Chains A and B, each alone.
Chain A
Amino acid sequence: MSEMITATRCRCLRSKSSYGAFGEDLEALESTIGATTTYWCLKTMGKAGPDEHYVHKSLCRDGRPCYESGNEE
């Protein structure tokens, strides 16, 4: 579950959670403290992505038109 989430999350998803910027352990951290994470898109520096939909861990995934894989390099 966690690996799949990690592998499919957009590389441009950013989080201003309490512990700053973090990567792969997002789910584990959130399950500890609750849904207290805010997100932004590195392409727009905003809460909406280039497609004007909001940015969230559940949405910035493989299949969204503006998705960019973190595994491509």
Chain B
Amino acid sequence: MQNEELELQQEKSPEQGKTGKDAPVHVPHKKDAHANPAAPPNKQASVAKRTDSFLYGIPQLGLSRVERQVPLNEPPPMPANADLKYLGKPTPRYDGVAKVTGAGKYTADVYLPGMLYARMVGAGVPHARVLAIDTTAAERYPGVRAVHVIQHVLGNAELRDPSKERPSRYPIVRYMGQPMAAVAATSQAAADEAAALVKVQYDPMGFVVDRDAARATDAPSVYPGPADQGGTAGGGGGPANVPQVGNVHGPERKNVGDVARGFAESDVVVEGEYYTQVQTHSALETHGVVADWKAEELTVYASTQGTSSVRNELSEIFKLPKSKVRVITEYMGGGFGAKFGAGNEGVVAVELSRKAKAPVRLMLDRREEHIASNRPDSHQKLKIGAKRNGTLTAIQLTSYGTAGVGTGAGTAGPATNMYNCPNLLTEEYDVFINAGPGAAFRAPGHPQGCFALEQAIDDLAEKLDLDPLEFRGRIDDSPARKVERQIILEKTDWRNRHRAGADPGPIKRGIGLSQSVWYRFVNLNSSCEVRISKDGSVELMSAVQDIGGGTKTMLAQVVAEEFGIPPQSVVIRIGDTRYPIGPDSGGSVTTGSISPAARNAAHQAKQHLLAAIAPSLGVAPDQLEFKDGRVSVASDPSRSYSLRQAAAKMPTDEVSARATRVPDYTRDKITYGGVDYVELAVDTETGRVHVERVLGVHDCGRPMNPLGVISQINGGILQGISYALFEQRIMDRGKGYMLNADLENYKILGAREVPQIDVILIENYIAQSSTDAAGIGESAGIIALAAAIGNAFYNATGVRMRRLPMTPARVLAALGKTDQEMHA
């Protein structure tokens, strides 16, 4: 190792952000053809570094070593999983017993003395001005302690064109169920009854809940404008290429090379239109909080993917110092991207608690949950050109999608980032409709984008008379996916698959696959404290939350590995903003962000321990080594002590260390992904599609807990099947409400539809942090499954399914068994 003074690109420290800004996220610098020229320059700072040699690569392709310059206080490079004791080993959930016995407390399980129960009042029409809200009857209802009406901030804004819409005392209703008010009472039943007594007087406006209808020039406008934002003398203004005409916002355009030239140079072109539906998040635990407003501190128990994001927003909204807002998420029942920030329910619960001077629980009911958030739908037009030798010449994607009253319906991620293509043009449009807002949903845009891209790639392979796997090998330079495709070849009957539609009989079986891509993001707001007590017990503390992915287990493994003690003996205290700040759990950032901080804190705590006990052992600290859970004198191995014995020699009752995530060692663009293989049966008489087997081969850097990673992939595969075959929000075009906002009519995959699932993980050492870990949440099956099912369906029947979900009615229509084409 050699020490050097290097210029380091400095990331913002967690608290350096401007007031009101959220967590900085470290984005790798891009080197490829789609590099972002607008990447913000970072300030330079001088940081002492050393050079370490790291394991690099994928075992199946041969491991090598690379040198990285790392900060001086980084722990030594970690060996391969095979050489570790706890990390990389299948480890049961740290809190599994607490979860299955009910001992684990979710937000809805929190009971505080004197706690009130709240219910939101949702808009009863899809689009209207609110003339009056009368809460008199609700306030008089027995047990009611507080009523809160959501009001706009008045007087601080003027419409750009006042003639388009008059200022309103209340928010304009833009979708059925939009939060209007809330009631807190001594029981949930009383709150529910009282909420129904809130009288809202509407001045209805025209509405539209259908994406295609909303694109018409004479469609009712969800928003009164404007087309774009003009610049001022001081600068600003929206980008000129994002206009809005009526309800259509966009396009967001990416243009690389020259697609017209690319298509002119192509030998083969495939073109198709693909449709995907709105999927609601349907987390088992609905959005909700328990808010407890006290003069000295606001405490909020929240079902959130980001304790810090909730604290930061409530701090700003209620003008409280962050130090006086505490957010707790001990257990969390799913979010899938929809639970960041305080949310309407969080703000309203705090308002009610402040008014009632009592804790208030506000959990959305299932109907509200379905309306609160969703994955936008899409209508994609995709065209791909290729040469006879199997190289891509051009990709052109135009997509329209609706995120209801919000934006975020883009689908271009896979088309942009999966394959090598010199000419790319993507144009993404958001279409506003009077329906609940879209939100991030597990790999936003990617299941939609993959559904189109990966089926088109199969079509292209067929036109080129190439095996789809071999074709992907020619256009995909990801080493991980190369290994994953090879494993698919070895573990399945791929080579012997029949030609499309060749299976005789009414039950037709087919096989297909799809690839996925996701990205390495790192959140530097990731800190841990590790404490060693004199009795030898070890604790880790961080505000990071475990949203179900197994963060507690993984952190226990990290600390256990560092100390050489069993994971079960490490106490993990997380999900509380009183602890060092943790990252929001979204975009598969959690493990890759927090695990290096945990290891570094454990490593430094260990050094503190050695320094503390060295005098009593009569040696210098650097003569002590920590190995296999024991502290030994290097020059005299007979002097060896267990952690408990060593800690007992500390002069104080405890030592601790806190570490914060440092930036990745390089700023290269790094992606993850997988290849998912599907075997299915199509009943051509009933239209039923039954997925019989899925093999998922995936990579996520160093798999920290294979059991946990596989569990996430199992979940992603199931969610992907559910998306492909069952789930669909259905809107009433005449009335404007969601027809199936419940779990009876909103069909989600059940036990009978679960196939055999096999998962194979590959190790991919990238030498970027002290753990080399990454997340799996996004790329875990959900991205690829719909496309893989589509390709398997084509192999089974010879018919291409371009519309989701693949319901029996749609299947029969596609097979020509019915006269009616399904467009719902």
Contacts and interface: CB of A to CB of B under 8 A. Distances in A.
Interface stretch (B311-319, B718-726, B727-735): B311-319
Contact of B40 (A3, A15, A20, A70): A3
Contacts, number: 278
A65 B238 contact: no
Interface residues of B, number: 109
Interface in B411-454: 411-413, 416-417, 426, 428, 430, 432, 437-440, 442-446, 449
B21 A70 contact: yes
Given A20-B586, A24-B21, A66-B156, A39 B407 contact: yes
A64 B237 CA distance: 9
B168 interface: yes
Interface string A62-73: 111110101101
A48 B172 contact: yes
Contacts of B778: 18
Contacts of A62: 232, 234-236
Nearest to A73: B19
B239 A58 contact: yes
22 contacts: A5-B38, A11-B21, A15-B22, A18-B444, A21-B306, A23-B17, A24-B17, A24-B21, A32-B669, A33-B410, A33-B417, A35-B250, A35-B410, A37-B440, A38-B408, A38-B439, A39-B406, A51-B159, A53-B160, A58-B229, A58-B242, A64-B229
B406 A45 contact: no
A63 B430 contact: no
B289 interface: no
A43 B318 CA distance: 11
Interface of A: 1-6, 8, 11-12, 14-25, 27-40, 42-56, 58-59, 61-66, 68, 70-71, 73
Contacts of A58: 228-229, 238-239, 242
A70 B347 CA distance: 22
A36 B375 CA distance: 10
B61 interface: no
Contacts of A56: 238, 242, 249, 407
Nearest to A29: B27
A25 B27 contact: yes
A32 B29 CA distance: 11
Contacts of B230: 63
A1 to B, nearest CB: 5
B438 A8 contact: no
Contacts of B157: 49-51, 65-66
B158 A51 contact: yes
Nearest to B175: A47
Contact of A25 (B25, B426, B446): B25
Contact of A19 (B36, B406, B586): B586
B82 interface: no
A8 B235 CA distance: 8
B38 A2 contact: yes
B40 A24 contact: yes
A43 B405 contact: no
Contacts of B159: 51-53, 65
Given A23-B22, A32-B417, A45-B344, A38 B521 contact: no
Contacts of A31: 34, 36, 38, 254
A63 B238 CA distance: 10
Interface stretch (B136-144, B219-227, B637-645): B219-227
B40 A45 contact: no
A35 B239 contact: no
